[in-house]
Amino acid sequence: MARKLAVIGAGLMGSGIAQVSAQAGWDVVLRDVTDAALTRGTDAIKTSYERFVAKGKLGAADAEAALGRITATTELDAVADADIVVEAVFEKLEVKHEIFRSLDKIAKDGAVLASNTSAIPITKIAAVTERPESVVGVHFFSPVPMMQLVELVRGYKTSDETLATAREFAESVGKTCIVVNRDVAGFVTTRLISALVVEAAKLYESGVATAEDIDIACKLGFGHAMGPLATADLTGVDILVNATGNIYTETQDEKFAPPELMRRMVDAGDIGRKSGQGFYTY
């Protein structure tokens, strides 16, 4: 089993993927464009490990060893000997294209090139490489250390071997996988949550019910751990507007068109927990 991982992007998702992988024994290279971003990412990992130690879910020596397996760098060349590379950058196709063009040149033969995208078709991302058979979607959920699911997405040319290696990796870091066999925009999970969030936002926007009552309905009526509007605030209203917009562009299906309210919230900077204000105040 391959044990060297590279993660591109040290934000919330990238640092979370690095954290669970190092804890599971992988040697991890964590790459971002600035030292400040890397410091934020590694500090978040350290804080998370400390919380697990305080709760007795992780030994102090194990946390120290896991931290020691993470190397932070601004050099993309550092991914050259990785067996698996996971891209976890902003959800814009042109940003991902730039990275995958570079990875195609730098990554070793046989490396799996994975994207953590939640909505962009893998086939589109793979198209800029000379090895589309090695490109696969490995969609983790936030917060990565807590969420059990990984969505594996097969692009039009993804090989069985690439998919199998991606599954081995995800399972080795303690996750349960589902496989998306047809590379539709939004895959399975983002389609489902996007449709729910869009409808919930429309109900709220038109004054049918309060945000609190819409969320209570989903929690107590459907057994959801968190309501759709609270989920939007946690994920980031901007992230969801982007994701639903990507799906809408691809499908022209009105149920995925981001409501005006959500677009205005993004314009105003009310993007959820990270800004202190979204559908709720934090």
Residue whose pair of structure tokens reads 């020596």 in the numeric block = 61
Q: What is the CA radius of gyration of the chain?
A: 19
pTM of the model: 0.90
Angle at which helices 12-23 and 60-68 cross, to 10°: 120
- In degrees rounded to 5, what are phi and psi of residue 152? -95, 130
What pLDDT does residue 236 have? 93
Give the DSSP letter of residue 280: S
Tokens found for residue 85? 């590379």
What pLDDT does residue 11 have? 95
- Residue limits of CATH 1.10.1040.10 in the chain: 190-272
CATH number of 4-180: 3.40.50.720
List pLDDT tens digits, range 193-209: 999 999 999 999 999 99
- Residue limits of CATH 3.40.50.720 in the chain: 4-180
Asked, as a colleague might, if the bond just before 143 is cis with ω within 30 of 0, I would say yes
Q: Torsion angle, CA of 39/42/47/49, rounded to 10 degrees?
A: -170
What pLDDT does residue 91 have? 86
What pLDDT does residue 1 have? 52
Give the DSSP letter of residue 148: -
List pLDDT tens digits, range 91-108: 889 999 999 999 999 999
**Could you say which residues of the chain have pLDDT below 50?**
none
What pLDDT does residue 176 have? 98
What pLDDT does residue 2 have? 56
The CATH number of 190-272, from 3.40.50.2000, 1.10.1040.10, 1.10.10.60, 1.10.3080.10, is: 1.10.1040.10
What pLDDT does residue 119 have? 85
**Chain centroid to CA 104:** 21
